[in-house]
Amino acid sequence: MDSVDVVVIGGGPAGLLAAGKAAADGASVILLEKMEKPARKLRITGKGRCNITNTKPYDEFINDIFPEPRFLRDAFNSFFSDDIIRLLNQQGVATVEERGMRVFPTSGRAWDVAEALVKWARANGVKIYNHAHVTDITSTQGVVTGVKYTDKDSNSKGVECKSIILATGGKSYAATGSTGDGYKLASSLGHTITPLLPALVGVETRPAISLKDNLLLRNVNLSLFIEGKKVDEEFGELEVTSYGFNGPIMLRLSRRIVFALSKGSRVDLELDLKPALSHEKLDARILREVDENPRIAVANLANRLLPRDLASVMIDEIGLAAQKNLGRLTTGERKSIRLWLKEQRFEVLAQRSWPEAIVTAGGVSLKEVNPKTMESKLVRGLFFAGELLDLDGSTGGYNLQIAYSTGWLAGKSAAPPIQ
Ligand SMILES: Cc1cc2nc3c(=O)[nH]c(=O)nc-3n(C[C@H](O)[C@H](O)[C@H](O)COP(=O)(O)OP(=O)(O)OC[C@H]3O[C@@H](n4cnc5c(N)ncnc54)[C@H](O)[C@@H]3O)c2cc1C
């Protein structure tokens, strides 16, 4: 049986940073990853481009983290966005900052980020075992003693160790290996798991705008109503899908929606396709078209206001005669167009499910983890890192930074011999 100082369970960004740091600080480290290679999820982040982190200062950064961002103060103090950028640059991954202070690899390949972290961990002395599916954590009198895992040929194996860093990720996109095993392992040792919900996810609405293909809309505004009260709004890009909505602004609103739905609250979205124009200005714009082009068809007006696919949906839904001359457009029809463009309401029926969620909200309760070390308050020698914890961030590089920072701090804390 292998015997080491530290076993890291899970080879995502949290596990790789934890293992690499513990090894750099002198610990003997084995990382057990159940898939055929580490960091499968990291390789598909940011639509394959990987939004590595965000360079907002700490005080702003934490506004995009839930539910208790201040839990991360020590983790961010020990390793923040400038540290991961430096580490990757040293490993040969050049980075570039884009709109919203989001950082990407210059190559545009998430794969390069994953390979660099694996290479760095190995160079520090970490032994990585792939196809190693951890099934148990063993402990005696409240102190960890080792782990049990099965290898590629389903043989049962074990490793003895002084410390264990659990970094198995959330339970979304399970095909990447993040199947939620860590929640079971942690609760078998007495840890509380707060309710798990898919966050950063699209939603199903009634009605849904029926289009042949998904359509990306730019510069639109989406307002969120919970129990009839407006609670939030986002401006930017929205993907209209056959079931409802997805894409950047939808994802940013989704966390609140998912929690509201889980409590049985009524949730509605209001879409403003022309947020730059007030109702009056939009009406004036339509009237100008009518005055200047009384003989063109209503369909032409719709095509001037909207992408073609959406224009025909508007004509159908309002019940306009597409070929009618603009000059014959009634005041009532003009009002219907204006309301359709600025105030379409959609009831949210459900969020899309786990395989499509970018991140898991909920996880190992922060009350039972020491924020200065990431060590369990219940079991000595057990540390946590990454999405497994009850922490999640918005889109923009926050979730990966949570993984690196908690991983780094856990690795640093686990490395010295536990007294
Ligand atoms: C499509 C998509 C795009 C995303 N894009 C971004 C982005 O651009 N920027 C950003 O900040 N965040 C992004 N995220 C979120 C981010 O990828 C995750 O928050 C992050 O990967 C979490 O890191 P982790 O190390 O905690 O967990 P994971 O990356 O999930 O890694 C956990 C690892 O543990 C392994 N494992 C699980 N159970 C066991 C077991 N029993 N034994 C051994 N190994 C096990 C898994 O195989 C996996 O390799 C995206 C997520 C998705 C799904």
Please check whether residue 313 is in contact with residue 215, taking contact to mean a CB–CB distance below 8 angstroms.
no
**CA distances, 410 to each of 151, 195, 381, 386 (Å):** 25, 24, 10, 10
The answer to whether residue 419 scores a pLDDT higher than 70 is no
Ligand 1 midpoint to CA 37 (Å): 13
Output the pLDDT for position 197.
Answer: 97
Pocket test for ligand 1, best of 45, 51, 354 (most atoms within 8 A of CB): 45
Average pLDDT over residues 158-169: 98
Q: Per-domain residue ranges for the chain?
A: 2-197+356-414, 199-274+344-351, 279-338
Torsion angle of C-alpha atoms 257, 262, 268, 272, degrees rounded to 10: 10
Q: DSSP 3-state helix, strand, coil percentages of the chain (rounded to 5)?
A: 40, 30, 35
Task: Return the ligand 1 atom nearest residue 15 CA.
Answer: 25
The answer to whether residue 56 scores a pLDDT higher than 60 is yes
Average pLDDT over residues 369-396: 98
Which of 210-214, 277-281, 298-302, 367-371 shows the lowest per-residue confidence on average (mean pLDDT)?
Answer: 210-214
Distance separating alpha carbons of residues 286 and 301, to the nearest angstrom: 8
Output the pLDDT for position 277.
Answer: 97
SS3 of residue 27 by DSSP: coil
CA-nearest of 405, 416, 415 to 75 is 405
Distance separating alpha carbons of residues 373 and 331, to the nearest angstrom: 67
Distance separating alpha carbons of residues 390 and 398, to the nearest angstrom: 14
Beta bridge partners of 204: 244, 350
Output the pLDDT for position 417.
Answer: 57
Q: Which amino acid is at 303?
A: N
Ligand 1 midpoint to CA 291 (Å): 57
The answer to whether residue 358 scores a pLDDT higher than 60 is yes
Tokens of 374: 């990431």
Q: What is the pTM of this model?
A: 0.96
At 48, is the pLDDT very low, low, confident or very high (cuts 50, 70, 90)?
A: very high
Give the CATH architecture of domain 279-338.
Answer: Orthogonal Bundle (1.10)
Task: Return the ligand 1 atom nearest residue 32 CA.
Answer: 43
Distance separating alpha carbons of residues 34 and 132, to the nearest angstrom: 4
At 416, is the pLDDT very low, low, confident or very high (cuts 50, 70, 90)?
A: confident
At 296-339, the pLDDT tens digits run 999 999 999 999 999 999 999 999 998 999 999 999 999 999 99
- The backbone region for 34, taken as left when phi is positive above 0, alpha when psi lies in -120 to 50, beta otherwise, is alpha
Output the pLDDT for position 357.
Answer: 97
- The backbone region for 166, taken as left when phi is positive above 0, alpha when psi lies in -120 to 50, beta otherwise, is beta
Distance separating alpha carbons of residues 258 and 6, to the nearest angstrom: 37
The answer to whether residue 418 scores a pLDDT higher than 80 is no
Output the pLDDT for position 404.
Answer: 98
At 191-201, the pLDDT tens digits run 999 999 999 99
Give the class (CATH, top level) of 2-197+356-414.
Answer: alpha beta
At 213-258, the pLDDT tens digits run 899 999 999 999 999 999 999 999 999 999 999 999 999 999 999 9
User: Is the CB of 177 inside a 6 Å radius of any atom of ligand 1?
Assistant: yes
Output the pLDDT for position 210.
Answer: 83
Please check whether residue 163 is in contact with residue 6, taking contact to mean a CB–CB distance below 8 angstroms.
yes
User: Is the CB of 14 inside a 6 Å radius of any atom of ligand 1?
Assistant: yes
Output the pLDDT for position 1.
Answer: 86
**Mean pLDDT of all residues belonging to the chain:** 96
Name the residue at shortest CA distance from atom 46 of ligand 1: 177
At 103-143, the pLDDT tens digits run 999 999 999 999 999 999 999 999 999 999 999 999 999 99
Name the residue at shortest CA distance from atom 26 of ligand 1: 386
